[in-house]
Amino acid sequence: MPKLGLAVGREGAMKRSLMLIALALTLFLIPPIVEKGYYINLLAIIFMYTALAQSWNIISGYSGYWSFGHYMFFGIGAYAVGILVTKLSFDAYLASVLGGLASFLAAVFLGLILLRIKGPYFAISSLVMAEILKVIAINEEWLTGGGNGLILPPRYALREFYYAILLTLLAVTAIAYAIKRSSMGYALFAIRDDETAAETYGINSTKYKILAFAISAFFAGVAGGCFAWFVTYIDPYSAFDSTLALMMIVSAVFGGIGTVMGPIIGGFVFTLLMEVLWVSFPYVYLIILGASLILVMRFIPDGIVERLVQIVQLMGKVGIKIPARI
């Protein structure tokens, strides 16, 4: 994949911004040392949704294959951990990674079937696939505990969950960035813009799509795995919860699809917004949520990141100087 000369300056900027992101996220190592309880729990949940949004972004934002069933990988990860810990007494951390691997393998296999289907057909098929897995989780009681769910040994480890999920978020962000800068990223964007054309130029679209699908599934699986040992109780309805997919999509769209920063900003802002609304308006927060979803899409369909760029540029035009480097 030839690199364009123009991209060089941008690359430097991206590198610096990545370092800044890393720095900011590293700062989040501190809170659990000085604080415990609600705020840590809230931050951890924000990280989880953000990591999920970022993982969704890798397949759907980059390649344009909108997966509505991405929560299936969260569920696979959660159940892998549930089964490994309760039936085979695995260590929870190792199990989480294995949960990610299980999702990865499942995605490779399912991708062979699903990724041949395009557009809205793909979106709904992935949703249906997730529902099939849920039915399996409900029925294979010897393995999954059926509707009774799986009760993991109580450990209630908030701090561990916080760090594990922060690490997942950092990793998925780094991978999302690396993919975007690599030839794989170019291939995925080419597929998004016009798959047939991309194939004519010799891009092996199947390979890239499946790889992106599997990588993205891995991180969703790890997040699901961590969630399982954190809440200590999973059942088919909470592990395969379709609202999770909507959270991922909405967070990514909110921030800006296809960018690395988009899902991060979207995830933080959206999850926080939900929390604030729901703490302050217990009865009507869902009404406000629905309305704000509509309003955001109506006025900033490109996402917050794109709009911020425009604002900053506008400020530059009217003469407000912002130092280029910090």
Partner 1 sequence: MIPSADTILQLIVQALLLGSIYVLMAVGLNVIYGVVKAINWAHGAFVMLGAYAAYWLYELYGISPYASAVFSAIALAAIGAFTHELLMKPFFGMRYFRAITLVVTYGLAILLINITRYMWTDVLRGVNLGVPPATIGAISISRPFLYGGLVAIALSILFYLMLKRTQIGRAARAVSESRKHAMLVGINPNVMSRFMVISGAAMAGVTGSLISTIFAVTPEMGSVLGIKAITIVILGGLGSYAGALIGGLMIGFAEASGTYFLGARYQPLLYFLTLLIVLSIKPTGIAGEE
Partner 2 sequence: MSYKKGVVKTTYIAIIIAIIVIAAIGGMAYMYMKPAPPAKESIKVGISLSLSGGFAAPGQRQLWGLTMWVEEVNERGGIYVAEYGKKLKVSLIYYDDRSDSATATRLYERLITEDKVDILLGPYGSGITLATAPIAEKYKVVMLSQMAAADTIPAKGYDYVFTLLAVASRFGLSRVELLDSLSPKPKTFALLTSNELYPLTVARATKTLWEKAGYTSVFYEEYPKGVTDFSAILLRAKAADPEVFYAVCYPADAFVIMRQMKDIKFAPKLIFLDDGPNDPKFVEVFGKEAEGVFTQMSWHWELPFPGVKEFVEKFKARYNELPRHWSAYPYAAGQFIEKAIEKAGSLDSAKLRAAFLELKDVPTIVGPVTFGDWTNPMGEKLKQINLGAINFGLQIQKGEMRVAIPRKYSSVDIIYPWPGWAS
Per CB under 8 A, 281 contacts partner 1: no
Per CB under 8 A, 285 contacts partner 2: yes
Per CB under 8 A, 6 contacts partner 2: yes
Q: Which is nearer to partner 2, 65 or 271 (CB)?
A: 271
Q: Which is nearer to partner 1, 28 or 189 (CB)?
A: 189
Q: For residue 98, which of 84, 109, 112 has the smallest C-alpha distance?
A: 84
Contacts made by residues 292-298, CB under 8 angstroms, sequence distance 24+ = 293/250, 296/254, 297/253
Name the one residue in this structure whose structure tokens are 């610096």: 16
Q: Which is nearer to partner 1, 139 or 310 (CB)?
A: 139
Among 2, 283, 320, 324, binds partner 1 (CB under 8 A): 283
Per CB under 8 A, 20 contacts partner 2: yes
Element (H, E) at 150: strand 150-151
Considering only the stretches 20-28, 100-108, 182-190, 249-257, report the one whose residues sit in contact with partner 1 under the rule CB under 8 A. 249-257
3-state SS track over 210-262: HHHHHHHHHHHHHHHHHHHHHHCEECHHHHCCHHHHHHHHHHHHHHCCCCCHH
Per CB under 8 A, 231 contacts partner 2: yes
Considering only the stretches 28-36, 52-60, 89-97, 200-208, report the one whose residues sit in contact with partner 2 under the rule CB under 8 A. 28-36
Binder of residue 66, out of partner 1, partner 2, none (CB less than 5 to 8 A by kind): partner 1
Per CB under 8 A, 314 contacts partner 1: no
SS3 of residue 144 by DSSP: helix
Among 124, 232, 273, 293, binds partner 2 (CB under 8 A): 232
Per CB under 8 A, 250 contacts partner 1: yes
Q: What is the residue type of 40?
A: I
Report yes or no: 184 and 211 within 8 Å, Cβ to Cβ.
yes
Name the one residue in this structure whose structure tokens are 């810990």: 85
Measured between alpha carbons, how far is residue 70 from residues 86, 106, 233, 269 in Å? 25, 12, 21, 21
Q: Is 226 exposed, middle or buried (0-12, 13-18, 19+ CB in 10 A)?
A: buried
Rg (CA), the chain: 20
Report yes or no: 149 and 234 within 8 Å, Cβ to Cβ.
yes
Per CB under 8 A, 313 contacts partner 2: yes
Q: Which is nearer to partner 2, 65 or 68 (CB)?
A: 68
Among 131, 195, 241, 275, binds partner 1 (CB under 8 A): 131
Per CB under 8 A, 251 contacts partner 1: no
Measured between alpha carbons, how far is residue 321 from residues 13, 29, 312, 318 in Å? 18, 33, 10, 9
Considering only the stretches 30-38, 78-86, 201-209, 212-220, report the one whose residues sit in contact with partner 2 under the rule CB under 8 A. 30-38
Q: What is the residue type of 189?
A: F
Q: Interface residues with partner 2 (CB under 8 A)?
A: 6-14, 16-17, 20-21, 23-24, 27-28, 31, 34-42, 45, 135, 138, 146-149, 151, 154-156, 158, 227, 230-233, 235-238, 261, 265, 268, 278-279, 282-283, 285-286, 308-309, 312-313, 316, 322-326
Q: Interface residues with partner 1 (CB under 8 A)?
A: 66, 113, 116-121, 123-125, 127-129, 131-132, 135-136, 138-139, 246, 249-250, 253, 257, 283-284, 286-287, 289-294, 297-298, 301
